[in-house]
Structure 1
Amino acid sequence: MKTEEDGVRVSRGGVSPRQVLSLFLSPPLLLISLSLSVCLWLHSLLSFFSSSRKWNEKRRRLRTLLRHFIPPESTEARGRRKEKRGESMGAYEEKKETCGTICLKYLLFTFNFLFWLAGGVVIGVGVWTLVEKSDYISLLSSKTYAASAYILVLAGVIVMVTGVLGCCATFKEQKKLLQVYFVLLLCIFLLEILAGVLACIYYQQLNEELKQNLKNTMVKKYGTEEKDNEQITKAVDKLQQEFKCCGSHNSSDWGESVWIHSASSQGRSVPDSCCKTKMEFCGKRDHPSNIYKVEGGCITKLEKFILDHLKIIGAVGIGIACVQIFGMVFTCCLYRNLKAEPY
């Protein structure tokens, strides 16, 4: 009669299948099985070598016996036979080398195609960083953020050109082209590492820079008549509308603004871009229900936006640079496998 305990079917003797399985998989039995397998393998290997020695001994005796009946081979015939054997071995080695070279060529071609696509991705990320919310770059005192994006765009263009050059160098099997390709890969590698490192460094400095400069930019440059400040005015208005914030820390920051105290403000307490319902002169009504009251102000919103972009720039730059290491290794292997060609 069978009973069940803890969802496991138990036999009459009280030993479950799980216990039997655990017994067979216990460390002592596994060790014994492994030792027996090794011993059997060694015995098979020794038997093979022993039989080989016996067979070689029989061949040697047969050859000695045949020498009494077959005339010895002439020196000239022996030389021709050795020469023929050398040619066949050379052909085998050449074929073997050719197969390795072909494999490397196709590996490198596949890498170049993927590398060319990666160049398009790098350009896309760089352009996206510069175009989307590009007005915000004017609010930053440091040019590191923009420099990282420009470096990525430059690296992406070189990557796409290098991908085409790499395909040509691979199929033409020209060492000089492979040398140029390797140097370009190395330059792109350094450029992308530089972009990633700049993004990481700026990531650490961003909060302090925004605290020191964003309020100063809003208070002193917003709405002034200088030509260079028109872009800053547009950027601040766009920042406050898109991120639904007002002022660098809060809406009271605008009380210190040069523009608010000038005639061009026309009595506004805050810019119209601070209003939840934007309309002309809505900034005159400094009423809590109509003005964005975001904790931390626009600094926290802009910081989060730029940090997200910096993470993408750093990840793309360093990630693709690491992939390029494989390309450089494949190039070196193919370069070594190719025979010297006359140029």
Structure 2
Amino acid sequence: MDRSCVNCLKSFILFLNFLCWLCGAFVVAFGEFQMMHSKFMSLVTSFWPIFPANTLVVTGTIVTCVCYLGILGSFKENRCMLISFFFLLFVLMLVELAMACVFLVYSTKINTYFEDDLMKSLVSYRDGTPEATKKLIDDFDAVQSLFKCCGVHGSADWGDNVPISCCTSDPCNAVNFTTWDEGCVVKLRDWFAHNYRSTGAGVVTMFIIQFISMCISVPLFCHFSRQGLGYQ
């Protein structure tokens, strides 16, 4: 392999890894933004990947670290870094595939986790148990106000303790006010599904970039090996 071909491959893998690193950094920032501004995290606790922000932050952090290693390995022509990059990227891609399979196979069970968590939060709020923290109460009120829904399956879930956030009019000062008919579980599922579609499109894009980067790192590693480069 002549030097011009090596330089071309180096430039290409540097570009791909830098692009992937930027994507990973954006994913982390977007996940952190969701964590700070979302009103739903305290309502879903049993199965943490249900909440997209957690998955975004963890995945994005790993991607940025691995891609940075690939950038350094290509730039310094260091085969030790390149083989470490190849191995870590291969493991990361396997984890991404495994997570995708888990969500596909257990999509029904995930919906059950989602519904059960919401019901537990509602019972804590309604009965005033110690688990009913101010954040949980505020989050549930925010969900009902934002999505114009009441309870998990309907206002009957609240019994005689229907919160004012279920009121259909604004401002709502009446004692016997009118409530939203639809429960929140369906609307929240649709909201989460929309977020996962957007997240899934980003993950597929990163997966393609990672696969191409991994393929290019192999001939570069072989060339550096033959030239005796790699550990300085």
Same-fold call, TM > 0.5?
yes
The 1:156–1:184 alpha-carbon spacing in structure 2 relative to 1, beyond 3 Å, is same
Deviations 1:55-111 (A, max 9, x none): xxxxxxxxxxxxxxxxxxxxxxxxxxxxxxxxxxxxxxxxx5222212211111111
Give the drift of 1:210: 4.3
Kept in 1, the 8 Å contact 2:66–2:88? The answer is yes
In structure 1, list runs of 5 or more residues that go unmatched: 1-95, 261-269
Q: Which AA in structure 1 matches 2:169?
A: T
- Secondary structure at the aligned position of 1:169 is classed as helix
Q: Which AA in structure 1 matches 2:164?
A: D
Within the candidate set 150, 158, 165, 1:273 is matched to 165
Q: Which AA in structure 2 matches 1:340?
A: G
Kept in 2, the 8 Å contact 1:218–1:248? The answer is yes
Give the drift of 1:153: 1.4
Q: What residue is the counterpart of 1:119 in the other structure?
A: 24
Q: What residue is the counterpart of 1:163 in the other structure?
A: 67
Q: Which AA in structure 2 matches 1:161?
A: C
Q: What residue is the counterpart of 1:292 in the other structure?
A: 180
Kept in 2, the 8 Å contact 1:196–1:313? The answer is no
Give the drift of 1:126: 2.9
Q: Within 2, Cα distance between the matches of 1:241 and 1:202?
A: 30
Q: What residue is the counterpart of 1:304 in the other structure?
A: 190
Q: CA RMSD in A?
A: 2.8
Give the drift of 1:114: 1.1
**Number of matched residues?**
229
Give the drift of 1:330: 0.5
Q: Within 2, Cα distance between the matches of 1:318 and 1:195?
A: 12
Deviations 1:225-271 (A, max 9, x none): 51554332222111110011112222222216xxx3xxxxxxxxx21
Question: What's the TM-score, normalizing by structure 2?
Answer: 0.82
Give the drift of 1:280: 6.8
Q: Within 2, Cα distance between the matches of 1:279 and 1:148?
A: 33
Q: What residue is the counterpart of 2:4 in the other structure?
A: 99
Kept in 2, the 8 Å contact 1:274–1:292? The answer is yes
In structure 2, list runs of 5 or more residues that go unmatched: none
Aligned residues with identical type, % of pairs: 27
Kept in 2, the 8 Å contact 1:151–1:195? The answer is no
Q: Within 2, Cα distance between the matches of 1:126 and 1:202?
A: 23
Name which one, 1 or 2, has greater alpha-carbon Rg: 1
Give the drift of 1:209: 3.6
Give the drift of 1:298: 1.1
The 1:200–1:123 alpha-carbon spacing in structure 2 relative to 1, beyond 3 Å, is farther
Q: Within 2, Cα distance between the matches of 1:160 and 1:166?
A: 10
Larger CA deviation: 273-282 vs 171-180: 273-282
Q: What residue is the counterpart of 1:89 in the other structure?
A: none
Question: What's the TM-score, normalizing by structure 1?
Answer: 0.58
Q: What residue is the counterpart of 1:324 in the other structure?
A: 210
Within the candidate set 223, 228, 231, 1:340 is matched to 228
Give the drift of 1:188: 3.0
- The within-5 A match list for 1:186-335 is 186-201=90-105, 203-222=107-126, 224-226=128-130, 228-255=132-159, 260=161, 270-279=162-171, 282=174, 284-286=175-177, 288=178, 291-294=179-182, 297-335=183-221
